[in-house]
């Protein structure tokens, strides 16, 4: 199930579920490499925008569901990414943090558009773990990026639905998990 896309994201946006699940029978979101820049013990937060002085605003949101389309309440989501300079923070927790999906499996992250850097297309790393489940490590990608086909890690199944509006960018993704 995808949350309803809103044209002007705000902190008070209420994401609603579609009446019929489109995830039933969908294969789980593919596992991808963690990469060398993962750091454990990230702070609990849903907003990275104060971590950088520049960058195009990006609101990511979606849902965590099982392969039958049922919401996975309380799933842990741990995000990390680069900013518009294309560099990971290896000393602290800029552009890093974790959160928990709500009772309907919904999640939201306010951040900035990540840069492309040598060898990689634009992407956001994420670990998703359902309560009492196994961790899924994957990446979210942007559609129609000119470097997608050049990135050896790119997976079409991990492309978000992305729109641009006057406030920045919005990306929507539903993580499908073997959670039950």
pLDDT, position 180:
56
Instruction: Name the band, by pLDDT with cuts 50, 70 and 90, for residue 86.
Output: very high
pLDDT, position 24:
65
Instruction: Name the band, by pLDDT with cuts 50, 70 and 90, for residue 10.
Output: very low
pLDDT, position 26:
79
**pTM attached to this predicted model:** 0.85
In the chain, what are the domains? Answer: 49-177 (2.60.130.10)
pLDDT, position 35:
87
Instruction: Name the band, by pLDDT with cuts 50, 70 and 90, for residue 22.
Output: low
Angle, vertex CA 60, rays to CA 30 and CA 167, nearest 5 = 150
Tell me how far apart the alpha carbons of residues 132 and 180 are, in angstroms, rounded to a whole number.
9
Most confident of 2-16, 17-31, 52-66: 52-66
> Among candidates 100, 40, 140, which has minimal Cα distance to 148?
140
pLDDT, position 112:
97
pLDDT, position 25:
66
Residue 78 bridge partners (DSSP): 98, 127
| SS3 sequence of the chain | CCCCCCCCCCCCCCCCCCCCCCCCCCCCCCCCCCCCCCCCCCCECCECHHHCCCCCEEEEEEEEEECCCCECCCCEEEEECCCCCCCCCCCCCCCEEEEECCCCCEEEEEEECCCCECCECCEEEEEEECCCCCCEEEEEECCCCCCHHHCCCCCHHHECEEEEECCEEEEEEEEEECCC
pLDDT, position 178:
86
Tell me how far apart the alpha carbons of residues 146 and 165 are, in angstroms, rounded to a whole number.
21
Q: Across residues 151-170, what is the average pLDDT? A: 96
Tell me how far apart the alpha carbons of residues 120 and 140 are, in angstroms, rounded to a whole number.
12
Model pLDDT for residues 97-113, shown as the tens digit of each residue: 999 999 999 999 999 99
What whole-number percentage of the chain has pLDDT above 90? 81
Model pLDDT for residues 54-84, shown as the tens digit of each residue: 999 999 999 999 999 999 999 999 999 999 9
pLDDT, position 19:
39
| pLDDT of 158 strictly over 60 | yes
Query: Longest Cα pair distance anywhere in the chain, in angstroms?
Result: 44
**Residue 170 CB neighbour total at 10 angstroms:** 21
Tell me how far apart the alpha carbons of residues 137 and 170 are, in angstroms, rounded to a whole number.
22
């Amino acid at each position: 199930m995808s949350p309803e896309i809103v044209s002007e994201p705000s902190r008070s946006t209420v994401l609603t579920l579609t009446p019929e699940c489109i995830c039933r029978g969908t294969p789980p979101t593919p596992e991808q490499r963690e990469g060398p820049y993962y750091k454990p013990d990230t702070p609990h937060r849903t907003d990275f925008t104060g971590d950088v002085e520049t960058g195009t605003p990006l609101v990511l949101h979606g849902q965590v569901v099982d392969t039958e389309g049922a919401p996975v309440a309380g799933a842990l989501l741990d995000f990390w990414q680069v900013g518009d300079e294309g560099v990971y923070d290896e000393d602290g927790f800029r552009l890093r943090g974790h959160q928990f999906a709500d009772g309907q499996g919904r999640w939201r992250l306010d951040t900035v558009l990540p840069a492309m850097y040598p060898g990689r297309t634009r992407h956001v790393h994420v670990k998703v773990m359902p309560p009492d489940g196994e961790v899924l490590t994957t990446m979210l990608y942007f559609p129609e990026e000119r470097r997608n086909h050049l990135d050896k890690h790119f997976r079409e199944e991990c492309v978000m639905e992305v729109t641009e509006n006057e406030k920045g960018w919005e990306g929507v993704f539903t993580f499908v998990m073997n959670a039950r």
